[in-house]
Chains A and B, each alone.
Chain A
Amino acid sequence: QQQVKQSPQSLIVQKGGIPIINCAYENTAFDYFPWYQQFPGKGPALLIAIRPDVSEKKEGRFTISFNKSAKQFSLHIMDSQPGDSATYFCAASGYGGSQGNLIFGKGTKLSVKP
């Protein structure tokens, strides 16, 4: 049973476009939702995270939108650049992320064309 469903599997945008990656979760006990960025040959790196008490969080060009009632959250990348080309993973965990493990989505491979 996949607890975190991520879409799309892959995404191609032009430089300056705004790619949007969506995730849905099932477990209402989840209360910490990070996004990780992974480049080939590297481990995932934390990009931005949100708790369910807010509906949106911005850090630089990255924004998370969170819909608690729909159990969905999404990542928006403003003014995307070729250097943003990577695989993005959403994840979820309980206890504010300070205990236990993260459950990851299957990933979205983003390609930003110059």
Chain B
Amino acid sequence: GAGVSQSPRYKVAKRGQDVALRCDPISGHVSLFWYQQALGQGPEFLTYFQNEAQLDKSGLPSDRFFAERPEGSVSTLKIQRTQQEDSAVYLCASRNSGANVLTFGAGSRLTVL
């Protein structure tokens, strides 16, 4: 597609539930990033893929967070046993090989009750 597509746009989960957030990057973009944006804050890095390889997962806040990109295109961010502090907008971004422009999707807003 023309842009980065994320789904669902909104997700309400009960504490303890597992959630999965999907990112469909711009076609052909090699690099894919996940960021977490708390209310009123800047995006904070979670993890980075180059094709299917997860090169950096240093920003994942706990082992409840897991991301994958098995075929080097679509990526899924999974959060297990959600907690209230996981409530945030999860942004996906993609970038072409050798380029520096990061294009963001609109985000998935997660609310944990």
Contacts and interface: CB of A to CB of B under 8 A. Distances in A.
A96 B102 CA distance: 12
Chief secondary structure at chain B's binding surface = loop
Interface residues of A, number: 25
A93 B99 CA distance: 13
Contacts of A36: 104
Interface size class of B (residues with CB under 8 A): 20 to 34
A98 B42 contact: no
A59 B21 CA distance: 35
Interface in B38-52: 40-45, 48
Interface of B: 4, 33, 35, 40-45, 48, 56, 59, 91, 93, 95, 98-107
Interface of A: 6, 32, 34, 36, 41-46, 49, 89, 91, 93, 96-98, 100-107
